[in-house]
A and B are shown apart, each in its own frame.
Chain A
Amino acid sequence: MSKYYGWGLPFNASANGAAIDRLIYGIHGIMFVLFIGWLTFLVYTLIRFRARPGHQAAYKVHHFKAPTYLEVSVALIEVLLLVGFSFPIMNHVKNQFPNEAGALKIHVVAEQFAWNIHYPGADGVFGKTRQDLMGSDNPVGLDPSDPHAADDIVTINQLHIPVNKPIIINLTSKDVIHSFFLPVMRVKQDAIPGDLIPLWMEANKTGDFEIACAQLCGLGHYRMRGFFSIHTQEDFDKWLKDNAPAPAAAPVAPAV
């Protein structure tokens, strides 16, 4: 079907992904050991203490020490998972944003049922956007009177990024709550109307992948599929050049 997706975690193309994958697989290892332990004890008990002629239940049984040890070790494992893995990973993902100067900045505006991707263009500055200008030919409401808007690139369902470069995405939604999900990047973030939510990522492999919506957003939720390409820096520069608006006319100027 696909070399990137199968029965297990999807292909990982993200610098942050390995730590998350280790955690997910690690927890499943612990869960598996605990469950097999329980199950073995349960089955053994059921067989050994089955009702049969000559067998009597014991009114008093000796006090078990094992549950206390089990509780304490479960608690310790949980502390370890929190302090050793979850807290540091979340701190890295949520709080340690890369330096803006060296990063590519992108705005993503979700709507029923598409992802509008807004690049600042050659000048590196986003043009102003206005809600009253939003329409099918100007999905993010780019204001043509703003000089910074002229070189901005707006795509629908096309997210292109260079490999090995930090990406900062500002995420919002026009209408309902969506969830911006890049399975191969281990990135998932709700897009909430009225909020502008920053997130960052860095790809370490190239390829063509997909954007999915992970929050029910209406009848077209299932087909809110975007294309997500990770290019080498050269290919990405070429893509930018090919998609840059013609310098004279502002192609995204609205009719009004």
Chain B
Amino acid sequence: MNHASHAHPLPFWRKYIFSMDHKVIGVQYAVTSLLFLFFGFGLISLLRWQLAFPSQPVPFIGQFFNDTQMVGGIMLPEFYNQLGAMHGTIMVFLGVVPLAVGGFGNYLVPLQVGAPDMAFPKLNMMSYWVYFIGGIVMLCSFFVPAGAAQSGWTSYPPLSDVAPLGQTVWLIGMVFLITSSLLGSVNFIVTIVQLRAQGLTFFKMPFFVWAQFVTSFLLLLAFPPLEAASVMQLMDRLAGTSFFLPSGLVVGGQPLAHTGGGNPLLWQHLFWFLAHPEVYVLILPALGIVAEIIANNTRKPIYGYKVMVFATIFLGFMSFVVWAHHMFLTNMGTSMSSFFQITTMIISIPSVVILTALILSLWGGSIRFNTPMLFAVAFLPMFGIGGLTGLPLGLTASDIHLHDTYYVIGHFHYVVAPGTIFALFAGIYFWFPKVTGRKLSEFLGKLHFWPSFIFINGIFMPMFILGLAGVSRRLYSPEYAHAQAVQPLNVFISYCAWGLGLAQIPFILNFVISLFAGKKVDSNPWESTTLEWQTTSPPPHENFEHEPVVLHGPYEYSVPGQKKDFLPQNMREN
């Protein structure tokens, strides 16, 4: 261990800003990504005005936008497309992943494996700052001429190749974000393989660590193709190449001056080769968090721990061979589409295994319904809806009608919003005492949970009806007759979205107030078994007074013959 740092206290900017301590970096990641989550939510809340009340002036807020964004408070289609594209980008690449991996992963993985820090602290610091720059670049893109990227978060060429300047900024931002993820994932893998405490075998690791481990491999292997693709699209836009541009394009009545010979589908393959594993990057840490909280609040071991681990590894492998199910309508042959349908059906099996194990873990428990547990339990059925609705999208025959409709939006939001984001909230309530030494208020927590739970279903459930009715995503206004027919649902969804926004006020209040005035708690307020709870709150520099020696599996709750109903991993008996 490095003791030099104890001798010379670090100056403020080294300790809290350019810090190499995984805990500080984890908090930096968490706070930054939470701000981005709220910003991304703000974008879509604004967009929802146009969907509910097409081409009516946005009340009050409308006057603050310039005339390339809103005219007389009425949102322009260009700006609508920017809000949509940037909402997706920010939520996925700047919100959920950095919170789940950068925030929770960074803070908890070294603690849970009993390590003093990440394997490469400098790389860790660099990973955060590269992410930070990527985020700033993305935010700045709103201020370039003609505004931010507006070709969807998927940025399909040729549309994105001929889009205004904002797309170039988006691509530069993406290169930073991808680089940051790559740096982070290498660090996680090495930390988990090399720095586990004495006695902590792989099958004694908490499920959360396993989830981060598999996630890191997905990031490491899936992101490079998108990094390459982003650079290729940059070249198409800046250097006159035509990787994604076929010959003979006529845009706006004018032949496009370029060499041609490219293929727009190449981008889609490279993009989805990342973006499907990315779905599991979003889900796996959430499953990890939920497993920890369920084990703790049922006061019993989770059901089928090993099976869950194997299912997670299998899920990781399979996630690399399902990407083209996002492309069923690109005229792939039936042999190709059959292959991707089969792999898509296969990948549902480990997902069902994990979800079933989590539900069965409740059986026989003594279930405490505190705020983290409420969020974790609510995750289960809502993630289930997300999984089930993948079924008709994964079969080409039903996907013909449902592809690119609101059904898809409902499906993947159930996976990542009522799914992952609920799990992340659960995690924040659960580990807040570890990070700050203070507990979040249970009352405000419940005031946050119940309205959020109701409104979030009010948002996404009607989207399945919109999708079945055939309403395409990314429509600025319901010009189509089939969209007119279900327009009242759009009004309902928008009210629920704004309600969900209001429901976050108790959370923000709770977060800020508890930071300074929350109830002080001891180091292990939830009476948990895993290593992060066996040190002070917040943990000292280098985490543990004495390097822990692990004796037990991660979830030794209610062990017969013990005085207490939990047996910490490093404790002989109690």
Contacts and interface: CB of A to CB of B under 8 A. Distances in A.
Interface string B342-358: 10010011001100110
Interface stretch (A21-29, A143-151, A161-169, A246-254): A21-29
Nearest to B466: A7
B248 A46 contact: no
Contacts of B263: 194
B251 interface: yes
Interface in A6-29: 6-10, 19-20, 23-24, 27-28
A20 B400 contact: yes
Interface stretch (A99-107, A119-127, A131-139, A232-240): A131-139
A176 B479 contact: no
B367 interface: yes
Contacts of B402: 24
Contacts of B473: 216
A118 to B, nearest CB: 15
A210 B83 CA distance: 28
Interface residues of B, number: 100
B81 interface: yes
Interface in B298-331: 298-301, 303-304, 329-331
A214 B398 CA distance: 15
B239 interface: no
A4 B253 CA distance: 35
A105 B9 CA distance: 80
Contacts of A56: 366, 558, 565
B364 interface: yes
Interface string B425-456: 00000000000000000000000000000000
Contacts of B42: none
Given A5-B482, A45-B362, A82-B342, A186 B248 contact: no
Task: Provide the main secondary structure of the chain A interface.
Answer: mixed
Given A2-B485, A7-B485, A35-B381, A216 B331 contact: no
A1 B484 contact: yes
A115 interface: no
B469 A221 contact: no
A212 interface: yes
Contacts of A10: 469-470, 482
Nearest to A219: B77
Contact of A85 (B76, B388, B395, B474): B395
B384 A177 contact: no
A204 interface: no
Contact of B468 (A8, A45, A215): A8
A94 interface: yes
A7 B483 CA distance: 10
A31 B482 contact: no
B403 to A, nearest CB: 6
B365 interface: yes
B11 interface: no
Interface in A24-79: 24, 27-28, 30-31, 34-35, 38-39, 41-42, 45-46, 49-52, 55-59, 61, 64, 67, 70-71, 74-75, 78-79
Given A51-B366, A82-B395, A85-B397, A222 B479 contact: yes
Contact of A135 (B249, B253, B398, B559): B253
Q: Which of A19, A181, A225 has the most CB of B within 10 A?
A: A181
Contacts of A89: 396-397
B485 A9 contact: no
Contact of A90 (B301, B397, B476, B565): B397
Contact of B253 (A6, A136, A188): A136
Nearest to A56: B366
Interface in B464-494: 465, 468-470, 472-482, 484-486, 489
A67 B469 contact: no
A5 to B, nearest CB: 4
B71 interface: no
A59 B560 contact: yes
Contacts of B489: 7
B404 interface: yes
B512 to A, nearest CB: 30
Interface string B395-425: 1111011111100000000000000000000
Contact of B360 (A4, A8, A64): A64
Nearest to A141: B250
Contacts of A206: none
Contact of A194 (B150, B246, B251, B482): B246
A58 B329 contact: no
A42 B362 contact: yes
A152 interface: no
A156 interface: no
Given A136-B253, A216-B159, A4 B481 contact: yes
Contact of B162 (A20, A58, A176, A183): A176
A223 interface: yes
A62 to B, nearest CB: 9
B363 interface: yes
B156 A179 contact: no
Contacts of A23: 392, 395, 397-398
A245 interface: no
Nearest to A132: B255
Given A82-B395, A176-B162, A34 B388 contact: yes
Contacts of A70: 352, 356
Nearest to A27: B392
Interface stretch (B93-101, B332-340, B495-503): B332-340
Given A34-B388, A90-B337, A175-B252, A49 B162 contact: no
Nearest to B159: A176
5 contacts: A78-B348, A82-B341, A94-B334, A192-B331, A216-B474
Interface of A: 1-2, 4-10, 19-20, 23-24, 27-28, 30-31, 34-35, 38-39, 41-42, 45-46, 49-52, 55-59, 61, 64, 67, 70-71, 74-75, 78-79, 81-82, 85-87, 89-91, 93-95, 111-112, 131-132, 134-136, 174-177, 179, 181, 183, 186-190, 192-195, 197, 210, 212-223, 225
6 nearest CB pairs, A to B: A194-B246, A89-B397, A5-B482, A183-B470, A57-B299, A58-B364
Interface of B: 76-78, 81, 150-152, 156-159, 162, 246-253, 255-256, 263-265, 298-301, 303-304, 329-331, 333-334, 337-338, 341-342, 345, 348-349, 352-353, 356-357, 359-360, 362-369, 377, 380-381, 384-385, 388-389, 391-392, 395-398, 400-405, 465, 468-470, 472-482, 484-486, 489, 557-560, 565
